[in-house]
Amino acid sequence: MKTKRIYLDNAATTPIDKTVSKAITEFEAHYFGNPNSIHREGQEARAQIDFARQNLAAFFSCKPQEIIFTSGATESNNLAIQGVVSEYVSAYNMKPHVITTMLEHQSVYNTVKELEKKGIIEASYIKPTKDGLITADQIIREIKDNTVLISLIFVSNEIGTVLPIRELGKQLVDVNKSSHYKIIFHTDAVQAVKHYNLNVQKLGIDLLTFSAHKINGPKGIGGLYVKSGTKLANLVFGGSQEYGLRPGTQNSTGIIGMAKAYENLGSLEDRQASGNAIRKMKSQLLEGLKQFNLIDINGSTDLEQSCPDILNFSILNKDQEMVIAKLDLAGIAVSTGSACVSGSTKPSHVINALGKITDREAATVRVSIAKSNSAKDLDQLIEAIKTL
C-alpha cells in the first residue's frame, strides 16, 4: 500500500482548492475575450475581472482602483520598492534612504541590496533579536531626512515572526507631519492574509503585497494595494492596463482564481478560528521538539509574537540536505526555508541575522502547517526526526 505523504511546506505553496479550480474552469468555458477589447466578449471578461477586483478590495477594505494585479509577490514587491525609489529620484533628484529588515523575503531584501549596490539608495537593515523580534521603535530610530520608504514583512516567511505593522503605521502618522519627504510604508503581507486583519485603513500603510498560491489559489498571480495618491514609477512600459501601473493583458483566469481563494478564507473571525486550530498543532510540535537536546528553535516561542503556522528550527550536527532528503523519503515534505532559495546548503540571511549560526554544522528545517494537516501528521514528523 502506498504511504500517504504528509505535506508540511505550506508557506512555500499550497494545493489548489477544488472550488478555485471550478471557478477557473467555469470562467474559461464562458469568457475568453481580451478584457481590454471593447466588443461584447471583451467587456464580459472585463466585468468578471471588475467583480474580482471589487471582492478583493472588500477583503482589504480599500477602493477597487487601489488593487493592481501582478504576476505574484516578487513583482509586487519590486513594483513597490523600485517604483517608490524611482519616483523620488525623478521628482527630487535625490539619493533616497530606504529602511527594511533582515527578516524580509528575498524579493524585498535582494531588491534593496541591489539598489544600494548600484548607488541609487542608502539603506538600513534592522537586525532582529536572537528570538527574531523587531520593534516599531527600532524602525523609527533609523529614519533620516532623506528616508522615503519603509518596507516591512508582516509575517516572516522563514521563522514566523509577526512584525509591528499597525503600531508602526500609527507612529508614522506623526512622523510624516514633520518629515522632509513623505515616508511611504510598504508591507509584504503574503504570509499574513490567512490569519490576520488586513484592513489597510487600520494598518496605516500605503502599499501592501499579496498573492494567491499560499492560500490554495493559483500560481503566477498576485497583487499590490496602492493607496490613492501614492505615486509609483513604472517598471514595465506598454498599454494602460491596471491603471497604467502594470501594462500587459491581465491574467484573467488567475485573477478569478485568486478572488475565489480569498473568498474561501471567510470572515476575520473564520480566519482567526482557523489560526487557533493550527496554532494548537504548532504548540504540539514545539512540545515534541523539547525532547531533543540538539534542536534549537529559530524565532520566538511566544505564540503571540509568531504566526500560527510557521515553525523553524535547527538540528545541530546534521547535514541540511541529508535531513530534508531523509524526511522526504519518510513521506514528509518540509523545507529549509523560502522556496526562492531552495537548494542552498548555506543558512539564509534571515537565519544568519539571528546570530546563532556558528561554524558548527546544523540543518535548518521550516515546518509550515495548514488546516488540512492533523495532530497525527506532527506526531509522525517527531518520530521521523528521531531516526535522523
DSSP 89-111: HHHH----EEEEETT--HHHHHH
CATH, domain range 18-265: 3.40.640.10
Provide the pLDDT confidence category of residue 233 given band limits of 50, 70 and 90: very high
What's the chain's average pLDDT? 94
Which of 73, 271, 93, 267 has its CA nearest to residue 186? 73
Grid cell in block for residue 76: 509586487
- Asked whether residue 318 carries a pLDDT value surpassing 60, the answer given is yes
Q: Considering only CA atoms, give the Rg of the chain.
A: 21
DSSP state, 146?
T
The whole-number average pLDDT for the span 76-99 is 97
CA end-to-end span of the chain, whole Å? 24
Query: Hey, where are the domains in the chain?
Result: 6-15+267-386, 18-265
Which of 123, 118, 77 has its CA nearest to residue 96? 123
CA distance 232 to 83: 4
The whole-number average pLDDT for the span 73-91 is 97
Strand 122-126 to strand 97-101: parallel, antiparallel, or no bridges (unpaired)? parallel
**C-beta neighbour count of 146 within 10 angstroms:** 17
Least confident of 143-157, 255-269, 290-304: 290-304
CA distance 318 to 8: 20
Q: What is the pLDDT of residue 338?
A: 56
- Asked whether residue 297 carries a pLDDT value surpassing 80, the answer given is yes
Cα 207–chain centre separation: 13
Which architecture, in CATH terms, is 6-15+267-386?
Alpha-Beta Complex (3.90)
Provide the pLDDT confidence category of residue 357 given band limits of 50, 70 and 90: low
**C-beta neighbour count of 61 within 10 angstroms:** 14
Contacts of 252 (CB under 8 A, 6+ apart): 27, 31, 35, 45, 48, 49
For residue 153, give the H/E element and its range.
strand 147-153
Contacts of 251 (CB under 8 A, 6+ apart): 69, 71, 220, 221
- Asked whether residue 240 carries a pLDDT value surpassing 60, the answer given is yes
For residue 188, give the H/E element and its range.
strand 184-188
Q: What pTM does this model have?
A: 0.95
Query: Cα angle at 117 between 71 and 356, to 5 degrees?
Result: 85
Q: What is the dihedral of CA 57, 62, 63, 64, to 10 degrees?
A: -20
DSSP state, 246?
S
- 312 with 158: CB under 8 angstroms? yes
| Residue type (1 letter), 281 | M
- 255 with 273: CB under 8 angstroms? no
Q: What is the pLDDT of residue 50?
A: 97
- 205 with 226: CB under 8 angstroms? no
- 376 with 328: CB under 8 angstroms? no
Q: What is the pLDDT of residue 33?
A: 94
Specify whether 340 is catalytic: yes
Higher pLDDT pick, 153 / 301: 153
- Asked whether residue 96 carries a pLDDT value surpassing 80, the answer given is yes
CA distance 64 to 56: 8
Q: Which one of the listed residues 286, 340, 382, 388 is annotated catalytic?
A: 340
- Alpha-carbon distances, residue 217 vs 14, 23, 77 (angstroms): 8, 11, 19
